[in-house]
Amino acid sequence: MRVSLDWLSEFITLDKPAEEIADILTMAGLEVEAIELADDDLILEVNVTPNRGDCLSLLGIARELAVLTGKPLKMLPCEVKGETEPGKKIEIRDETLCRRYTGRIIKNIKPGPSPRWLQKRLESYGMRPINNIVDVTNYVLVELGHPLHAFDLNTLKGDSIIIDTADKIYQKIKTLDGIERKLPEDALVIADTEGPVAVAGVMGGALTEVEESTTSIFLESAWFKPQSIRKTSKALGLGSESSYRFERGTDLEILPVALDRATCLLQELAGGVPSKKLDAYPVKFTPARIETSPGRVNRLLGTAIEKKNMISILDRLGFSPEEKASSIMVTPPSYRNDIEREADIVEEIARIYGYNGIPTALPSSSLSAEGIGPMRKFMRQVKNVIRGAGFDEAINFSFMSPDALDFLELAPGDIRRNAVRILNPLRKEESLLRTTIIMSLLEDLKYNLSRDIRSIRLFEVSKVFIRDEGEDLPREPLKLGGIFMAQKTYRFWQKNGEDFYIVKGVVEALLDEFRITGRSFEKCQEPFLHPGKSAKIVIGGKDAGFVGVLSPVLKEKLDIKAREDVLVFELDLYMVIENLPAVPVYGPIPKFPYMERDVAIVVEEYLRAADILKLIREYPSEYIEDAVVFDLYKGGKLGPGKKSLAFNIRYRSGGKTLTEEEIDSIHKGVIASLLEKTGGSIRQ
């Protein structure tokens, strides 16, 4: 809310510099965000929190300053003369939504432009002057915080002003902005005997608008239920200075004051003969009675504020404190509808006492050994392993474009098509929650490539969101995703070999870190990966992710010109957690030495190293401890369709030192078995 200090000084004497006033307000909860210089005036930009609707006016700000500085509030001069019979009656048909409705008729009024001083004040607030009648209602709105509305009397049919919900009768209205609107059934409307003339508290009707030709008006000052106004305003997409205040709750008791104040100003600026006031007040204001225990206030605040000090604060706030033996009975004024229970009183005392006067005390409480917990510890470890492999951490928005699903060529039944849809996305490209991290990482890759960055290793750890039929909330699996592209770089130590193995190695390093043993890499069906250079990551027999080269088709669709492969991986981290091994149990360290033998065999190219290793490990000899593949060779004299794989086999006995002869004989057996089962030959 914009507060002109010049205007504010009509309500309270300001004898302090603007900065000091701003500081006083800020430290009491009315944050002054800026002080603006305007001609010979200073404007405070005050941030009024939603609970303090009473401060959306100069009166409200002045009231706060009076409490904080001890200066008295100034009363506004107002005396309404010459009261005639109104000739209208008020008919409130919904007393819950409209607890009070006041109004009066003013005849022989002359619409015209407002005087410059009034226009300037409206401008200081940020309002556009229209004509003296509308301007006066706005002027009083800023002054007292109470919205008023003026109808052209001659357009109001019949002798009743009806306040009712739209329901079946008042379905449509053409509002001041000239738009024909369909009203929600529970919207509150003001109607005459023929139909609706205003959407209560939100916007007037076009038919009853005050114009240059207007000679008489009906001036409304009413109270509407905040929730109802807010609902209607949201439903119609209409917000105004009036609805903003009604939503935050207005003062039931100020209605006639605001009406009189506006009447006085109108008589001064536009002439006119006012009628007597109409005041329908079916549901009277009943002040809250709140008992407050000073001991409890001090216990909650950690203070030792004396009871009489509390009473003084509450008195300055206008809360009419009554001292009881061990408590204070408080009756908050009608404009403080935010004060409902003891906690509100505690806040008021703390606020006026000053937060900075409250001492600090570190809490003592039972020790907690939980720390950051296993989940956070796990995530830190994951990130550090991947980071150690040279990957920088990316963080992307959780959104995904609906096009991404087709772009990745996901099959119709793919679970990643079960994405959560946002009803009100900022852009269509951000209208789904992502079901995979890969698309975001591909976009990161594009972004960096277009900036001439040639070596890209990025990873991200994030939840993805999978919609489950019949469930309110989606599943939120935790994924680790990565992307890798190494173009020629001027590093001294050059990499060699297939990038696939580098990236697969990163995944293996991670699984090793957590000692995940039951794992394998199987042929992968991901439509967006190179079928021959990709693998499904299987943990504990379940599909836990993938690693591989992006398919050439997608690479072309992404318009990536570079020759090098793009590699991606994704791993379900919850599946890693599920397969974490138990605490290791110590096993004795071998007492006897091992012996090694190497063998290279030439086999058909399609045979897999893992399968041959399996043959070795399954060979019926208790002495085979381990076997690894250490070389792969193709081409040369081997001829097409063939490859040579070299294995190192380690033999050991648990009970004795094996002799060369014993090993040679087992090794020979292993080789014979391998050649037989693979149809291969020994490499010469």
Partner 1 sequence: MDDLSSIKQSFLHELSLVQGIAGLDDIRVKYLGKKGVLTGKLKTLGALPPDERRSAGIVLNEMKVLMENELALRKQALKNRELEKKLASEALDITIPGNYTPPGRLHPLTQTMLDIIDIFSAMGFSVEEGPEVETDYYNFEALNIPREHPARDMQDTFYVSDDVVLRTHTSPVQIRAMQKRKPPFRIIAPGKVYRCDADISHTPMFHQIEGLMVGEDISFSHLKAVLEAFLHRFFSPDVPVRFRPSYFPFTEPSAEVDIGCIFCKGAGCRTCKTSGWIEILGAGMVNPRVFEMSGYDPQVYSGFAFGMGIERIAMLKYSIDDIRLFYENDIRFLRQF
Where in 281-300 is the site for partner 1 (CB under 8 A)? 299-300
Q: Other CB atoms closer than 10 Å to residue 211's CB: what's the count?
A: 10
Query: Which CB sits closer to partner 1, 41 or 342?
Result: 342
End-to-end CA distance of the chain: 90
Site for partner 1 in 219-278 (CB under 8 A): 226-228, 230-231, 247-248
Work out how close the CB of 350 gets to partner 1 at its nearest, in angstroms, rounded to a whole number.
5
Which residue in 5, 24, 28, 675 binds partner 1 (CB under 8 A)? 28
- Give yes or no for residue 355 binding partner 1 (CB under 8 A): yes
Separation of alpha carbons 132 and 564, rounded Å: 74
| 448 to 487: interface string for partner 1, x by CB under 8 A | x--x-x--xxxx--xx-x------xxx-x-----------
Which residue in 152, 344, 565, 570 binds partner 1 (CB under 8 A)? 344
Work out how close the CB of 593 gets to partner 1 at its nearest, in angstroms, rounded to a whole number.
32
CA distances from 426 to 442, 447, 540 (A): 21, 21, 41
Work out how close the CB of 536 gets to partner 1 at its nearest, in angstroms, rounded to a whole number.
25
Work out how close the CB of 232 gets to partner 1 at its nearest, in angstroms, rounded to a whole number.
10
- Give yes or no for residue 433 binding partner 1 (CB under 8 A): yes
Q: Nearest CA to 34 among 18, 49, 55?
A: 18
Work out how close the CB of 555 gets to partner 1 at its nearest, in angstroms, rounded to a whole number.
19
Whether the CB-CB separation of 99 and 283 falls below 8 Å is answered with yes
Separation of alpha carbons 503 and 498, rounded Å: 9
Which residue in 115, 126, 282, 390 binds partner 1 (CB under 8 A)? 390
| Residues 6+ positions from 475 with CB-CB distance below 8 Å | 465, 466, 468
Query: Which CB sits closer to partner 1, 455 or 678?
Result: 455
Work out how close the CB of 189 gets to partner 1 at its nearest, in angstroms, rounded to a whole number.
18
Site for partner 1 in 199-228 (CB under 8 A): 226-228
Residue with tokens 């009648």: 133
Q: Nearest CA to 535 among 560, 501, 573, 509?
A: 501
- Token pair, residue 581, equals 């091994």
Work out how close the CB of 433 gets to partner 1 at its nearest, in angstroms, rounded to a whole number.
7
Which residue in 122, 301, 544, 549 binds partner 1 (CB under 8 A)? 301
Choices 314-322, 352-360, 526-534, 636-644 (CB under 8 A): range interacting with partner 1:
352-360
Which residue in 26, 215, 309, 678 binds partner 1 (CB under 8 A)? 26
| Residues 6+ positions from 182 with CB-CB distance below 8 Å | 171, 172
Query: Which CB sits closer to partner 1, 220 or 348?
Result: 348
Q: How far is CA 425 from the centre of its chain?
A: 12
Choices 114-122, 489-497, 558-566, 595-603 (CB under 8 A): range interacting with partner 1:
489-497
Directed axis angle between helix 18-26 and helix 58-69, to 10°?
A: 90
Work out how close the CB of 227 gets to partner 1 at its nearest, in angstroms, rounded to a whole number.
4
Sign of CA dihedral 259, 265, 270, 271: positive
* Total number of residues that touch partner 1 (CB under 8 A): 93
Separation of alpha carbons 652 and 659, rounded Å: 10
Work out how close the CB of 332 gets to partner 1 at its nearest, in angstroms, rounded to a whole number.
15
Q: Nearest CA to 202 among 253, 149, 258, 256?
A: 149
Work out how close the CB of 543 gets to partner 1 at its nearest, in angstroms, rounded to a whole number.
24
- Give yes or no for residue 509 binding partner 1 (CB under 8 A): no
| DSSP per position, 144-184 | HS--EEEEEGGG--SSEEEEEE-TTT--EEEBTTS-EEEPP
Which residue in 37, 75, 423, 589 binds partner 1 (CB under 8 A)? 423
Query: Which CB sits closer to partner 1, 397 or 592?
Result: 397
- Give yes or no for residue 430 binding partner 1 (CB under 8 A): yes
Go through 70-109 and write b for each residue having 16 or more CB atoms within 10 A of its CB, e for each that does not.
Answer: eeeeeebeeebeeeeebebebebebeebbbbbbbbbbeeb
Query: Which CB sits closer to partner 1, 176 or 449?
Result: 449
